[in-house]
A and B are shown apart, each in its own frame.
Chain A
Amino acid sequence: MTLGSQARSLAGNVVVYASLVLAATVALLPLIVVFMAGFKTRAEFREGGPLGVPVDWFHLDNFITAFTRGGMAMGLLNTTFILVVSVTGSILIGSMAAFAISRFDFRGRRLVVFLFLFATLVPAVTAQVATFQLVVGMGLFNTRWAAIALFTSTDIIGIYIFLQFLRGVPRSLDEAAYLDGASSFRVYRSIVLPLLKPAIATVVIIKGVAIYNEFYIPFLYMPSRDLGVVATSLFRFQGPYSADWQVISAGVVITIIPTLIVFLALQRYIYNGFTRGTGK
């Protein structure tokens, strides 16, 4: 390498790393500042600047307040219940529909595909203007089942992921099973469902993140405090703790920690999931 091109590639490297460090700082700084605020006392928070490091890293009062009086413990429980039921429901519904659409030829198949596709275009929040009457009419208002029903039956992204995946699975396995006298349910249950495992992982990730983060549906349909999920319990900090930003910060940290743990544990699957699953 000549001296000139070496200098140029050094300058190039400086630009590359400077850009990356800057981007990482912008992404992290707001999180770090809030994390530190969670450990500060009220006086410390008032008097010190936001960039100051907390005096006592074991000052956990804010977290205790957020968990108990702030309802974050209840929120985590409700979210977990709704998430597990809805994700399981989505996987069953999505895989059954995808099995029927991709493995059978029947009248109305194109119409069914169209109906599922078109549904993804409907803007979710504004649709609640009409869905609300229905949910109230079904007696689901102010129950966890309102959120579960909507999470399971709308935003049916699972079907697309399963359809895409099944396209790459040869049908020879199903056919061999049929020849051996297996029923279609047996084929679905013992051949298709196990083969779908990687696609199911993708759906669990995408749907799980979406449900954990969903704010408006629980906010609209589950106003009772006992039914608070993570997002709505945190949102309710706004009034009572508006003078106690250190408590709000602790609530934010509690909200983010499960996400962070899942992200660190499943990084690779998460990237793959979103690369595959976006653009429904």
Chain B
Amino acid sequence: MRSEPVQGVTPVPAAHAVGMPLSMRLRRAAVPWAYLAIPVTLLLVFTYVPIGAMFSFSTLEWDGLSRDRPFIGLDNYTEVFRRPELFGVFATSLFYLAGAFIQLGLALYLAVLLSYNVRFRNVFKGIIFFPYLINGVAIGFIFLYVFQPDGVLDTLLAGFGLEDHQRHWLGERGLNNASLASVSVWRYMGLNFVLFLGAIQSIPHEILEAASIDGASRWQQLRHVIAPGIKPVIGLSFILAIQGSLAVFDIPYIMTGGSNGSSTFVIQTVDIAFKFHKVGLGSAMAVTLLLIILVVTGIQRRIIRDDPVDISQ
């Protein structure tokens, strides 16, 4: 259903309108705008006006309140790139990117397993998917409990006689980012898993059967039938994973507040704008992130030309 571009829609032919009187034609042309007036107004007011404002604020030195807001050109942008605690935090994204790849691998593995006839299939499917639906603040608190000293993880390690491996999971620099990224894996893996499983199950059964009659092993079926069949979903998931790891926010904001090297670019942006009241600099950071996301999306369009879930083509 989602596999053809929207433009496949042939809109109501306007040809027969040509013979009509002008007033009637004008009224016809006005009809779609009657339906679009509210949606487009809201879109402009709450998305495009702020984007425009973001670009203009980014050239000002402004605390968000005072009337005095001098124009400083691109100075905010040079500051973004010069100060390592601003642009440098993109390095944190690498932890989440690595986590995202692990997450996609696990999701694919589990989806393949569940695509065979397995007992309790729906129970497993439900349990693996459910974390994706949980509120982010709740997830943050759950894993604060898991990772705190003598918390769930340490207790489990002790239970297996691995006391030596107990660590300050959220305290140690570097390790804290790995712990936080693993929370993201726990949270989002279920969604990828369900998407992959859906894609695998939409491969016509006869094709797999034919392959199996022709003597294809499970691995060969996976490589030559399943993998090509779900390529578009995998491609889409990769792009979403990259975009997601550039814009990580909730989990580290809730769990560590971005302390001790666990800050992300988005946390820095809102802190700069709302905690330190540097709206100009914060806007420059927001614009920077928007441009990076656009570049990533542009690359995606080039690589995955035949992306069937993309309705914009």
**Interface residues, chain A, with chain B CB atoms under 8 Å away:** 16-17, 19-20, 23-24, 26-31, 33-34, 37, 49-51, 93-94, 96-97, 99-107, 109, 112-117, 119, 121-123, 125-134, 149-150, 152-154, 156, 159-160, 163-168, 171, 174, 184, 188, 209, 212-213, 215-216, 220, 230-232, 234-235, 237, 245, 248-249, 251-252, 255-256, 259-260, 263, 267, 270-271, 274-276, 278-279
* Per-residue contact bits, chain B 120-156, to A (CB 8 Å; 1 contact, 0 not): 0011111111111111111001110110001110011
CB pair B129–A19 under 8 Å, yes or no, is no
Chain B: CB-nearest residue to A166? B9
Q: What's the A-B contact tally at a CB cutoff of 8 Å?
A: 288
Of B48-56, B79-87, B160-168, B169-177, the one touching chain A: B48-56
In the assembly, what is the distance between CA of A153 and CA of B42, in Å?
5
Most chain A CB inside 10 Å of its own CB: which residue of B132, B142, B249: B142
CB distance from B103 to the nearest CB of A (A): 12
CB pair B311–A163 under 8 Å, yes or no, is yes
B interface secondary structure, majority: helix
| Chain A residue contacts of B8, Cβ below 8 A | 167
In the assembly, what is the distance between CA of A279 and CA of B11, in Å?
24
Chain A: CB-nearest residue to B198? A275
CB pair B138–A252 under 8 Å, yes or no, is yes
Q: Could you say which of A30, A134, A279 contacts B310, with CB atoms under 8 Å apart?
A: A279
CB pair B126–A134 under 8 Å, yes or no, is no
| Chain A residue contacts of B61, Cβ below 8 A | none
CB distance from B38 to the nearest CB of A (A): 6
CB pair B269–A121 under 8 Å, yes or no, is no
CB pair A167–B4 under 8 Å, yes or no, is yes
Interface residue? B40 (CB, 8 A): yes
Interface residue? B247 (CB, 8 A): yes
CB pair B43–A130 under 8 Å, yes or no, is no
Interface residue? B46 (CB, 8 A): yes
* Per-residue contact bits, chain B 162-202, to A (CB 8 Å; 1 contact, 0 not): 00000000000000000000000010001100110010000
Interface residue? B236 (CB, 8 A): yes
In the assembly, what is the distance between CA of A132 and CA of B312, in Å?
29
CB pair B136–A106 under 8 Å, yes or no, is no
Chain A: CB-nearest residue to B246? A123
CB pair B38–A93 under 8 Å, yes or no, is yes
| Chain A residue contacts of B135, Cβ below 8 A | 212-213, 215, 230-231, 234, 255-256, 259
Taking CB atoms and an 8 Å cut-off, the chain B residues in 108-129 that contact chain A are 109-110, 113-114, 116, 118, 122-129
User: Are A234 and B290 CB-contacts (below 8 A) given A128-B270, A166-B9?
Assistant: no
In the assembly, what is the distance between CA of A61 and CA of B32, in Å?
57
In the assembly, what is the distance between CA of A50 and CA of B149, in Å?
11
CB pair B40–A115 under 8 Å, yes or no, is yes
